[in-house]
Amino acid sequence: MPKKRKMELKEESDIASTPLKKVATGVHGLDAVLKGGLPAGKATLLCGGPGTGKSVLALEFLYRGALMGEPGIMVTFEERASTLRENAATLGWDLAALESAGKLFILEARLPQRAANAGDFNISGLLAMIEGKTRLMKAKRLVIDAIDVLMRIYHDPHREQDELYAINEWLGGLGTTSIITAKINEGRHSSGHYEFLHYMADCVINLEQRVEERIATRLLLVVKYRGSGFGRNENPFIIIDDGVKFTPLSSTSLDCHAQPGVASIGHAGMDEILGGPLRRGTCVLISGSTGTGKTTIACSFAKAASDRKERVVYISFEESVDTLVDCMLSPGIDLRPAIKSGRLNILSFMPEAAEANVHLYRILEAVYKLKPDHVVIDAISSSQRMGSRQTAFDFAIRLVTILKAMGITTLLTAQLEGLGSMSDISGINISSFADTVVALRYIDVGGEMNRMMLVVKARGRQHSNQYREFIISSKGFCIADIYVGEGGVLTGSARQEQEMKERITISKRRRTIKEKEAELAVKKAHRESSVLALEAEILRSELDLEALRADDAMHQCGREARSKIRGSKSAKGRRESPPAKGGTKP
C-alpha cells in the first residue's frame, strides 16, 4: 500500500476515534442520559408542551454552569426577568447574586406588539447585542427561550425558516454551548411546523407531560445526538427542592459485584429453609395476602440487622411510624431500641401523595444520606397507587437496580389479592428480578384459616421446596416442622387432632408391645424353669445310673473275687486229699 494512502487511512482513523467534546449540564442525572453532557459549542433543541419544564431545565443549565465558573446568558422572549428570578428563588437559586458577579445575564427580549403587527422586524440587531454581551462576559453558555414566540412576528413560513437558519449559523460561529427552547402545540405552531429545526440542531430533546390515572409524569426523550451515544429510553424526571432530578434506568447496570458475607433474615428456622442466610446485596421478595405476616418478617429482619449494629432504612407505604411500632409489639418485636440508636430509620409515605419519581427521589435521597446496609420497602405493591401498573413496575425496577448497584440488601413485601393465588407473586411482575422469593398464603382446613410458607426460589441455594406452617405468636414467629397427613399437609387444629390420634395409636401399640414382651418373658422364664427341673431329673437319673453302675461294678468284682476264692480252695483240697484207691469215697 502506498505511503500516502496509509497516512490518509490513519488520519481517517484518528478522526473517527476522536470523542465528541461535551459540556456537563450539572443537572442531576441528565448527564448520565446524555453520556456526558451537551455538545460543546453547538446548539441543542429543547422542545415540549406547556408545563413540561423547558424553561426550568434551560435555566438550570445556565445556573449550574455559572456555579462551575462558566458564565451564561438567558434570552427570554416570553417571561419577564423579574418573573424568572422569582421562580428561580422557589428552587433556592439566587440569580441576582450571579448577575451581580457577572456570571449570569438575563436579556428580556419581549417584542412590542406593534413590531409583531408590522411584520418587518429584523433580528440582526438583537443578535449583535447578544454577541457583544457574550464577548464582554466571555460567556460559555447561551439559552434562547421560546424561539417560537420570536417567530410569530413573521407571517411568511419561508421567512421564518430563513431566520431560523440564520440563527443556527450565527450560533455555530458564536462558539457557545447553546439551548434553544420551542413549544410543541397543536395547530400552526406544532412540532410539524418547525420540523426542520430537528435537522438543524446537533442534539434534539423532547419533553412531555403524560397523565395516567390522574397523575402527571414529566418525561425526557433524546431524539438525536450527532456523534454521540445516549440513553434512548424515556427518562422520567421531577422538579423538586433545588431543581430538576433524573433517575435514569439506562445509567444503572446489572453487572453488580457480589457482596461478601451474609445477613440473617432474623429467624434461624427461616434461614434454614432458605438454604442459609441472605447474601448481602441481593433482593428478597416476601409476598402474600393481607395478614399473612409479611410486615412481621420485614420488621424481624430490620430488628436483627440493628442488633448486629447494621443500618436499615425502612420505607412504609402502608402505616405510619407510630402505628407500625405499636403493631409490632404484639408479636414481640420491639423496634424502639433500634430507632433510638439511629440504626433503624423508618420513613412513612402515602403513595398517592406524589408521583412515582418523587417517591424514588425521596427514597434515594435518604439512602445517600444515611448509607444503610439494608433497605426494606413495605409494600412495593402499593406503588400501583402512584399511577399505572407500568409506572409501579418502572419505579420498582429502578429502585431495586440502583440499590443492587450500591451493594445494599433489599427486602420487599408485596400484597396479593385474594387468599392464596400466586399467579402474580409480586403484584407488579417483578418476582423474576428478585433473588429470593418467599410466598405466604392461607389454607382452610376444617373451617380454620392457617398460614403457610413456601420458598419459591433462592438463587444459588439448596432451599426447601415444601410448604411449612407459619405461626405468629406473642414471642415472634416460628416455622413448624413439615407434617403431612393422609390428605396432605395439615395445619392448626387439624394437625393437633391428627397428632393426638397418632399419639393415641402409638401409645396403644407400645402398650401391646410391652404386653407381648412380658408374656414372652414369662414363657421364657417358664421354659427356663422347666429346663432346670428337667436337668435336675436328668442329673438325678445320671447319679442313680452312676450308683447302679457302681453297685454293678462292685457286685461284679465280688463275684470275681468269690470265684477266685472258690477256685483256689478246690485246688488245695485236691492237693491235700488224694482220692482212695479202688473207688470214690462216699
DSSP 426: S
The pLDDT of residue 186 is 43
Per-residue pLDDT band at 53 (split at 50, 70, 90)? very high
Q: Is 367 helix (H, G, I), strand (E, B) or coil?
A: helix
Angle at 245 between CA 242 and CA 250, to 5 degrees: 160
Select from 3.40.50.300, 3.60.21.10, 3.40.800.10, 3.40.50.150 the CATH code of 19-251: 3.40.50.300
CATH topology agreement for domains 19-251 and 262-492: yes
The pLDDT of residue 543 is 81
- Going by C-alpha positions, the residue among 91, 170, 161, 163 that lies closest to residue 127 is 170
Q: What is the pLDDT of residues 384-443, one digit of tens each?
A: 888 778 888 888 888 998 899 889 999 999 988 765 455 556 566 777 888 999 998 888
Question: Is the pLDDT confidence value at 584 over 50?
Answer: no
Alpha-carbon distance of 2 to 13, in angstroms, equals: 17
Give, for 298, the enclosing helix (H) or strand (E).
helix 294-307
Residues 6+ apart with CB under 8 A from 295: 318, 319, 324, 327, 328, 378, 413
Question: Is the pLDDT confidence value at 471 over 90?
Answer: no
Count of Cβ atoms closer than 10 Å to residue 406 Cβ:
18
Q: Is 242 helix (H, G, I), strand (E, B) or coil?
A: coil
Q: Which of 4-8, 89-93, 249-253 has the highest mean pLDDT?
A: 89-93
The pLDDT of residue 45 is 92
**What residues does each domain of the chain span?**
19-251, 262-492
Per-residue pLDDT band at 320 (split at 50, 70, 90)? very high
The pLDDT of residue 188 is 39
263, 280 in Cβ contact below 8 A?
Answer: yes
Mean pLDDT of 451-479: 85
Mean pLDDT of 211-230: 84
Q: Is 425 helix (H, G, I), strand (E, B) or coil?
A: coil
Q: Which one is predicted more confidently, 15 or 100?
A: 100
Q: What is the pLDDT of residues 291-312, one digit of tens each?
A: 888 999 999 999 999 999 999 9
The pLDDT of residue 126 is 84
Angle at 217 between CA 43 and CA 148, to 5 degrees: 35
Alpha-carbon distance of 345 to 351, in angstroms, equals: 18
Residues 6+ apart with CB under 8 A from 482: 466, 467, 468, 489
Contacts 24+ apart (CB under 8 A), 482-491: 489/443, 489/452, 490/445, 491/443, 491/445, 491/448, 491/450, 491/451, 491/452
CA 455, 456, 460, 462 torsion: positive or negative?
positive
Q: What is the pLDDT of residues 198-214, one digit of tens each?
A: 788 889 999 998 877 67
Bridge partners for 206 per DSSP = 47, 221
The pLDDT of residue 106 is 94
Question: Is the pLDDT confidence value at 263 over 60?
Answer: yes
Tell me which of 130-144, 296-310, 514-528, 570-584 is least confident.
570-584
The pLDDT of residue 377 is 95
The pLDDT of residue 393 is 87
Mean pLDDT of 245-268: 70
Per-residue pLDDT band at 494 (split at 50, 70, 90)? low
The pLDDT of residue 191 is 47
Residues 6+ apart with CB under 8 A from 134: 73, 142, 174, 176
Question: Is the pLDDT confidence value at 549 over 70?
Answer: yes
301, 265 in Cβ contact below 8 A?
Answer: yes
Percentage of the chain lying above the pLDDT 70 cut: 81
Question: Is the pLDDT confidence value at 538 over 70?
Answer: yes
Residue with cell 417517591: 359
Which superfamily does CATH assign the domain made up of 262-492 to? P-loop containing nucleotide triphosphate hydrolases (3.40.50.300)
Buried b (16+ CB within 10 A) or exposed e, 81-96: beebeeebeebebebe
48, 123 in Cβ contact below 8 A?
Answer: no
Q: What is the pLDDT of residues 342-384, one digit of tens each?
A: 999 999 999 888 888 889 999 999 999 999 999 999 989 888 8
Question: Is the pLDDT confidence value at 447 over 80?
Answer: no
Residue 327 CB-density burial (10 A; 0-12 exposed, 13-18 middle, 19+ buried): middle
Q: Is 147 helix (H, G, I), strand (E, B) or coil?
A: helix
- When the pLDDT of each residue in the chain is averaged and rounded to a whole number, the result is 82
Per-residue pLDDT band at 44 (split at 50, 70, 90)? very high
